[in-house]
Amino acid sequence: MNKKERPILKNLIKEGTSDFEYFQNITIRPIIKMQHHLLILSLNNYLKKRKISLENLSDIQIINKINSIFNKDISYRNICLGFVIGHFSSKEYMYYMNHSSEIHKRIIKIIHKRFEDSLNEILI
């Protein structure tokens, strides 16, 4: 089994960064980057199981389809959240528990953007 380590992302913390931005850039972004391959696999599996073809769609249509999945399928969205939240340390999880709504929004937004930027990896 391959051991995963969070990548260190540089130059994300600026002076005047809010607590949410700090948590996002120090915790969430590195975990999502580390889980990138798994997130792509999960989306491909989701599309395959539901027989959703992206073959003849434009990039904009694919992005809209992914957006629709995140908006309509709470179960899949929660799976994606679990891929990230499951890597929180105890201290990070305590912070998350107090701000879960805002952190959920940030996680989903980053994953969605990552999918948009990785269209060439979806259903290869």
Q: Does 13 map to a domain?
A: no
70: left (phi over 0), alpha (psi -120 to 50) or beta: alpha
Domain around 104: 19-121
Q: Does 3 map to a domain?
A: no
Residue 1 has pLDDT above 60, yes or no: no
Q: Does 14 map to a domain?
A: no
Q: Does 11 map to a domain?
A: no
Quote the number of domains for the chain: 1
- Residue 6: per-residue pLDDT: 72
Tens of pLDDT, residues 7-66: 676 666 667 778 899 999 999 999 999 999 999 999 999 999 999 999 999 999 999 999
Q: Does 58 map to a domain?
A: yes
